[in-house]
Amino acid sequence: KMVQNENYQNVGSSIDKWEIPGGSLDFKTILGEGAFGIVWHAMLGNTHVACKVLKENATADEKRQLQQEIEIMKYVGSHPNIVSMIGCMTADGSYGPLLIVEYCSKGDLLSFLRTIYNNFANRFTLMQDTEVQVGKHDFSNKLYELVVDESENEFSLSHMDILSFARQISVGMNYLSSQKVLHRDLAARNILMCEGKRVKVSDFGLSRDVYTDSVYCKTTNGKLPVRWMALESLTHQIYTSQSDVWSFGILLWEIVSLGAIPYPGVETHDLLSLLMEGERMAKPHMCPDEIYSVMRSCWFESPNDRPTFSSLVAAFEALLTKET
């Protein structure tokens, strides 16, 4: 049996049970392409998998980053709201390093949200009355009425779905933080979807094990997810589970705004001073007050004032039971 998800704690073992023999993968299509990595849809026997490989022009540092991601995924283990590792190829040569994870058939959450937005924006345009002068904000309101409906299908999004996504992601992140692992790149683009609107936290490319790395570590990589970063990460390169909570708040905003880019109309170089003055993103027009108050609490200046992932789980569970 090549797939051994349970054996992630083989620390110190010289025979790595995660290692997949070269040539056992059947590559299908490219799912995604980043700055230095490519994610392939592949078959491992009869199992659909996703494989992350480096591009040919990847630097030594990028290679180290993928190796790091592989080690962290081995350590994290399996959880229903974390994309689980299936195997890897670490041997240098034609294959390694290569990370094999479970395939999430519905793709990433950001694309899903934008599909919903576009479908309904089109429908709205079709039914638009010429007499009605539709301003930007009116449009958002109308859009929300149309989009966030209770019809149950694969490409609908109900208020319950929004709360369910928020709950599932906080459950996954609560598990990750209990393992003392920081994500550091929590965003809708890094959440993957499976059947039944189950969502999973993915992409540990920037993650760090807080036991082996200082929380003050700096990324040497110039590209930072600035719009998702906590104030203390921007000013002092401090990363903790509480800075992941800040990013979770931004992710919540992305969900409610159906895949918009955070801080619309704000230039990246103006962001820091804006945040330091205490400014935060406004409530999206379609956002219920109780969800906005959660995201605002994730953006408190002092990390200790923000909710923990475990209190976020409780908050969304309470909101979900209130709805039913």
Positions that interact with ligand ADE (CB under 6 A): 31-32, 39, 50, 83, 101, 103-104, 107-108, 192
Distance between CA atoms of 141 and 51, rounded to whole angstroms?
Answer: 40
**Cβ proximity to ligand ADE, 72 vs 295, nearer residue:** 72
CB of 210 to ligand ADE, least distance (A): 25
Active-site residue, 185 included: yes
Which residues partner with 89 through β-bridges? 98
Our CB check for ligand ADE shows the closer of 33 and 138 to be: 33
CA-to-CA separations, 316 to 166, 171, 244, 290, 304, in angstroms, rounded: 7, 10, 17, 10, 20
CA distance 31 to 51: 9
Minimum CB distance to ligand ADE smaller for 88 or for 192: 192
Give the integer Cα–Cα distance in Å for 253 and 281: 9
Question: Shortest distance, CB of residue 142 to ligand ADE, whole angstroms?
Answer: 32
Single out the residue of 176, 227, 202 nearest to residue 50, CA to CA.
Answer: 202
Catalytic residue among 26, 138, 149, 185: 185
Residue nearest to ligand ADE (CB): 50
Q: What angle do CA 64, 65, 69 make, to 5 degrees?
A: 115
Give the integer Cα–Cα distance in Å for 154 and 44.
27
Q: Which is nearer to ligand ADE, 31 or 58 (CB)?
A: 31
Closest by CA position to 104, among listed 163, 32, 34: 32
Write the CB contacts of 244 (distance below 8 Å, at least 6 apart in sequence). Answer: 173, 176, 177, 182, 183, 184, 186, 309
The single residue listed with the structure tokens 């010289």 is 14
Least distance in Å: CB of 244 to ligand ADE?
20
Of 83 and 206, which CB lies nearer to ligand ADE in the complex structure? 83
- Residue 40 phi, psi dihedral angles, 5° rounding: -105, 145
Enzyme catalytic residues: 185
